[in-house]
Chain A
Amino acid sequence: EDKVVQSPLSLVVHEGDTVTLNCSYEVTNFRSLLWYKQEKKAPTFLFMLTSSGIEKKSGRLSSILDKKELFSILNITATQTGDSAVYLCAVGSGGSNYKLTFGKGTLLTVNP
């Protein structure tokens, strides 16, 4: 059975701190790893990674994938209160019947 494990499950930091969120996975027929931010309802897409070692960056957020060790990290630098959310890691797998398997998420709280 496909499995995605995120750590930590929750994290409380102060504005300006840097955080690292972890995601490890065991899936059959890996195709991609995606990060989403979920504030109220709809998960919002952040990154999709398919190749090892290539960092993806968007503003203060960055992510990298290690396909040999089967994990990914999401870094957020200079955190702001608006970064408070659940961060979901999902792994895309399968052939023609591609699906996403999600972890439980990391609840990040950024205090002023």
Chain B
Amino acid sequence: ETGVTQSPTHLIKTRGQQVTLRCSSQSGHNTVSWYQQALGQGPQFIFQYYREEENGRGNFPPRFSGLQFPNYSSELNVNALELDDSALYLCASSRLGQGGETQYFGPGTRLLVL
């Protein structure tokens, strides 16, 4: 158990809707990274939040956005959902700035877009 929690565990949405996924980081960690994992693929980096600001972004369109709160928890928002957004969404927490580059993952949210 990493201490990283995510909610909800599963979600079904229809095309065009919006979704918000949540992540609580491990105690002592100040950074949250979000990844999208399609079936049979490795996780793909969406973005990272550090000190409540976006600190790096992968190749994802602006309809993927996020927030980090003062307690280091984070949200991932996806607008105008597309069928290809169906995937496992993983968040990972770490402690940036002290050589703590190991990222510890939560159990993920499985999103199905119909």
Contact = CB atoms under 8 A, between A and B. Distances in A.
B25 to A, nearest CB: 14
A90 B33 CA distance: 14
B101 A43 contact: no
A92 B100 CA distance: 11
Contacts of A4: 42
Contact of A43 (B43, B48, B96): B43
Interface residues of A, number: 25
B55 interface: yes
B105 interface: yes
B88 interface: yes
A45 B104 contact: yes
A98 B45 contact: no
Nearest to B45: A99
B44 A102 contact: yes
Nearest to A101: B45
A97 B102 CA distance: 14
Given A31-B101, A104-B40, A96 B107 contact: no
Contacts of B41: 104-105
A30 B58 CA distance: 16
B66 interface: no
A97 to B, nearest CB: 3
Interface residues on B, range: 20 to 34
B40 to A, nearest CB: 7
B48 A45 contact: no
B55 A97 contact: yes
Contact of B105 (A43, A99, A103, A104): A43
A43 B103 CA distance: 10
Interface in A50-84: none
A58 B55 CA distance: 33
B56 A94 contact: yes
B2 A42 contact: yes
Interface of B: 2, 4, 33, 35, 40-45, 48, 55-56, 58, 88, 90, 92, 96, 101-108, 110
